[in-house]
C-alpha cells in the first residue's frame, strides 16, 4: 500500500494493520504530520499542529497495542486506538491553545479538556492538531479574517464550507482519519457536502458540548467528520456519554452503543420508507445540483426501498424562530464573556454585524421561538404527509442548494433569484438543528466542474444507526466517498 493509499485508508483498515503489526501508530502519525507539513500551506486547514503531543501519544499507543497480549502493559482501547484525528479549534484542549478562530482567544490555553477530548483520549486517539474555522463558528464559509481562509481541496479558489471548514478540508485531503466539529445551523454537514466527505450531526444532547466555545446552546451539536459512514459511527461511539436526558416523563440514555461495525453494514429493515419533501427542501436548488441528487435517488423504488413524495408544511415557519434563537444566544454569550461590545474592533466584520443584530432580538420573540422549537421537537416526521400512511424511516434532501462558491463571493444566483451564500447554505440544514433530529451528509455526485454534491439524510429522534445504515447502503453501491480531491496527492 502506497503512502497516499494509506492516508486514505479507513479507520477499520488501519486498525487491522496495527493489530497484525504491519503498521505502527508512530509510523502512521509521522506520515500524517509529513502530509500536513506539505499540504497545509496550500489548504490552511490547521491553525495549530501538535507535533510533539501527537508523537508522544503515538508512542504510548504503540507500546500498549504491541505489548504481548496478556502481559503487563498490553491494552487495546478499541477502534480508535492509535488513530490520528483532528479537532475543530473551538473545542477545549488542556495545555493547547484554543482560538475558536478568533483574535480575542488567540493566546487562550485551557486548563481542562472538553468532555469529547477526554473521551477521545480514553479511546486512544492521537491528536494531530486544531483545525481552522469560521470565527467563533459564526458563519458558513471558513473565510477567516484572522488566520486566513481555508481552501477547498477540490478547488483551492473555493470555500470548504463552514464553520468546520478546516476539519472537512483536512479529512478530505487525507490529513487525518477523522475530525470532530460543531454544528449549530449546518456547520458539520455544509463543509462535508462541499468537500465530498461524510458529516454527522447527532441528535441533540447525544454528545456533550461541555468545554466547547458556544455559539447557541439551544442549537449547538458536536459530531464527527469522516470519509465513510462506518468511520463516522466509530467516532460517534467514542464521544457519546453515559448521562441521562431529563425533561420528560421518561429518561433517555444517551450513549450510542455499537456492538461492531457490522451493525452499520446490516441492511436496514425491509422495506425502507424514505420521504422526499416536495416543498421547502427542493426550493431554489441549483439545476445541476438538483439533477445530481435526483439521479442519486433514481431507481430506488424496489422491494427494499420505497420513496414517498411528501410535504413539509411547517418547516417554512421555522426560519425566523431559528434565527432569533441563534442571534440572541450568541450575543448573550459574548456579552457575558465581556468581549462585546468592549472589544468589538477585534471581531471580523461579519461576526460583529451578527452580534449587533442579536441585540435587537426582542425577549418575546426569543421566548416564542423556544416555544415553537418545543413543538418542532415532537418531530418533523409527524408533520410529513405521506399518502400511504406509512411511517418514514428517514427523509432524504439536498444538503446544500449549490456547490462550493469562490472565496469572497457573498451572493449567488439560484433558479433565477439572487441569494446570499450564507442564507443559502444554512437554509436546508437549520431544520435538523431546530428539531434536534440526527442528520448526516454524504457525497452523492460531482458537478461538471468537479465539485462535490451532498445528500442529506434526516432521521427520527435518536435514530443515528438508521441514518448511518442508509448512508452505508448508499456508499456500497456508489464510489463517491472513495474519490480523492486533486489537492491530496
Q: Catalytic pick from 10, 24, 88, 352?
A: 88
Secondary structure (3-state) at 223: strand
Distance CA 138, CA 159 (A): 15
- Cα–Cα distances (Å) from 214 to 135, 207, 246, 394, 477, in that order, read 12, 14, 21, 29, 38
Question: 253 and 290 in contact (C-beta within 8 Å)?
Answer: no
Q: State how far the Cα of 439 lies from the Cα of 298, in Å rounded to an integer.
A: 21
Q: What is the spatial distance between Cα 185 and Cα 218, in angstroms, rounded to a whole number?
A: 11
Task: Kindly write down the DSSP assignment for every residue of 386-407, as one continuous string.
Answer: -TT-PPPSEEEEES-SS-PPBT
28 φ/ψ angles, rounded to the nearest 5 degrees:
-65, -40
Q: Are 289 and 194 in contact (CB under 8 A)?
A: no
Cis-peptide into 271, omega within 30 deg: yes
- Counting every residue, how long is the chain? 489
How far apart (Å, rounded) are the C-alpha atoms in residues 285 and 280?
Answer: 10
Residue 170 CA from chain centroid, whole number: 13
Q: Are 398 and 285 in contact (CB under 8 A)?
A: yes
Q: Are the C-beta atoms of 484 and 430 separated by less than 8 Å?
A: no
Distance set, CA 186 to CA 83, 208, 265, 433, 456 (Å) = 26, 18, 26, 8, 11
The answer to whether 163 is a known catalytic residue is yes
Q: How far apart are CA 264 and CA 234, in angstroms?
A: 10
**DSSP 8-state symbol, 421:** H
What span, in angstroms and rounded, lies between the C-alpha atoms of 427 and 320? 11
Of the candidates 102, 142, 167, 187, the residue annotated as catalytic is 187
Check: CB of residue 212 under 8 Å from CB of residue 182. yes
Q: Of 366, 375, 377, 368, nearest to 329 (Cα)?
A: 366
Region of residue 175 (phi > 0: left; psi between -120 and 50: alpha; otherwise: beta): alpha
Residue positions annotated with a catalytic role: 88, 163, 187
Amino acid at each position: 500500500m502506497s503512502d497516499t493509499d494509506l492516508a486514505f485508508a479507513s479507520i477499520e483498515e488501519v486498525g487491522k494493520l496495527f493489530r497484525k503489526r504491519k503498521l505502527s501508530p508512530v509510523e502512521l502519525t509521522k506520515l500524517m504530520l509529513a502530509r500536513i507539513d506539505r499540504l497545509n500551506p496550500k489548504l490552511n486547514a490547521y491553525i495549530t499542529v501538535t507535533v510533539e503531543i501527537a508523537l508522544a501519544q503515538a508512542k504510548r499507543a504503540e507500546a500498549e497495542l504491541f505489548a504481548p497480549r496478556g502481559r503487563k502493559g498490553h491494552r487495546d482501547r478499541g477502534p480508535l486506538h492509535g488513530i490520528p484525528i483532528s479537532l475543530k479549534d473551538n473545542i477545549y484542549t488542556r495545555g493547547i491553545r484554543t482560538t475558536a478562530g478568533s483574535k480575542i482567544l488567540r493566546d487562550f490555553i485551557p486548563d481542562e479538556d472538553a468532555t469529547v477530548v477526554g473521551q477521545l483520549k480514553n479511546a486512544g486517539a492521537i491528536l494531530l492538531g486544531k483545525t481552522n474555522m469560521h470565527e467563533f463558528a459564526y458563519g458558513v464559509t471558513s473565510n477567516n479574517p484572522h488566520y486566513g481562509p481555508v481552501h477547498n481541496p477540490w478547488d483551492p479558489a473555493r470555500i470548504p464550507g463552514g464553520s468546520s471548514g478546516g476539519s472537512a478540508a483536512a479529512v478530505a485531503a487525507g490529513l487525518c482519519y477523522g475530525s470532530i466539529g460543531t454544528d449549530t445551523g449546518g456547520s458539520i454537514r455544509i463543509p462535508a457536502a462541499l468537500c465530498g466527505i461524510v458529516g454527522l450531526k447527532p441528535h441533540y444532547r447525544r454528545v456533550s458540548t461541555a468545554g466547547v466555545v458556544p455559539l447557541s446552546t439551544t442549537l449547538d451539536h458536536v459530531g464527527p467528520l469522516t470519509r465513510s459512514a462506518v468511520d463516522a459511527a466509530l467516532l460517534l461511539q467514542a464521544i457519546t456519554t453515559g448521562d441521562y436526558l431529563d425533561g420528560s416523563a421518561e429518561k433517555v440514555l444517551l450513549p450510542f452503543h455499537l456492538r461492531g461495525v457490522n451493525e452499520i453494514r446490516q441492511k436496514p429493515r425491509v422495506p425502507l420508507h424514505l420521504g422526499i419533501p416536495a416543498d421547502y427542501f427542493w426550493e431554489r436548488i441549483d439545476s445541476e445540483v438538483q439533477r445530481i441528487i435526483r439521479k442519486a435517488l433514481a431507481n430506488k423504488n424496489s422491494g427494499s426501498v420505497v420513496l414517498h413524495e411528501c410535504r413539509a408544511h411547517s418547516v417554512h415557519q421555522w426560519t425566523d424562530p431559528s434565527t432569533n434563537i441563534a442571534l440572541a444566544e450568541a450575543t448573550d454569550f459574548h456579552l457575558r464573556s465581556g468581549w462585546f461590545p468592549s472589544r468589538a474592533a477585534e471581531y471580523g466584520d461579519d461576526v460583529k454585524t451578527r452580534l449587533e443584530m442579536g441585540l435587537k432580538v426582542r425577549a418575546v420573540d426569543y421566548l416564542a421561538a423556544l416555544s415553537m422549537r418545543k413543538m418542532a421537537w415532537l418531530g418533523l416526521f409527524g408533520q410529513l404527509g405521506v399518502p400511504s400512511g406509512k411511517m418514514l424511516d428517514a427523509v432524504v434532501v439536498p444538503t446544500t442548494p449549490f456547490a462550493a462558491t469562490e472565496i469572497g463571493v457573498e451572493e449567488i444566483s439560484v433558479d433565477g433569484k439572487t441569494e446570499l451564500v450564507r442564507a443559502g447554505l444554512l437554509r436546508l440544514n437549520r431544520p435538523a438543528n431546530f428539531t434536534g433530529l440526527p442528520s448526516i451528509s454524504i457525497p452523492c455526485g460531482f458537478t461538471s466542474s468537479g465539485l462535490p454534491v451532498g445528500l442529506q439524510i434526516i432521521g427520527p429522534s435518536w435514530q443515528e444507526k438508521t441514518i448511518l445504515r442508509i448512508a452505508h447502503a448508499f456508499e456500497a453501491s456508489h464510489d463517491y466517498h472513495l474519490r480523492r480531491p486533486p489537492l491530496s496527492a
